[in-house]
Chains A and B, each alone.
Chain A
Amino acid sequence: MAKKHLTLVMMDAPFENARTVSGLRLIDAALRRGHDVTVFAYEGAVALTFAKQAPHANAVHGRDAAQEDHPLPKDWIAALMATAAQNGGQLEWINCGLCVDERGVGEAIPGAKRGSPADLWKAAEASDNTLVIGTR
Chain B
Amino acid sequence: MLLKLSDFLQPKKAVNVESRTTTLNIEHVTKRFDDFVAVNDLSLKARAGRIFGLLGPNGAGKTTTIRMIVNITAPDSGRILLFGQHMTAALQDRIGYLPEERGLYKRMKIGEQLRFFAELKNLDGREATRRIDLWLEKVKLSDWRNKKTMELSKGMQQKVQFIAAVLHDPELLILDEPFTGLDPISVALIEGLVLELKAAGKTIIFSTHGMEQAERICDDICLLNKSKKVLDGSLREVKSSFGRNAVALRVDGAADVLNDRSLVSQLQTSSDEVEAVLAEGIDSQELLQRILATGARITKFELVEPSLRDIFISKVGQTNE
Question: Do A and B share a complex?
Answer: no
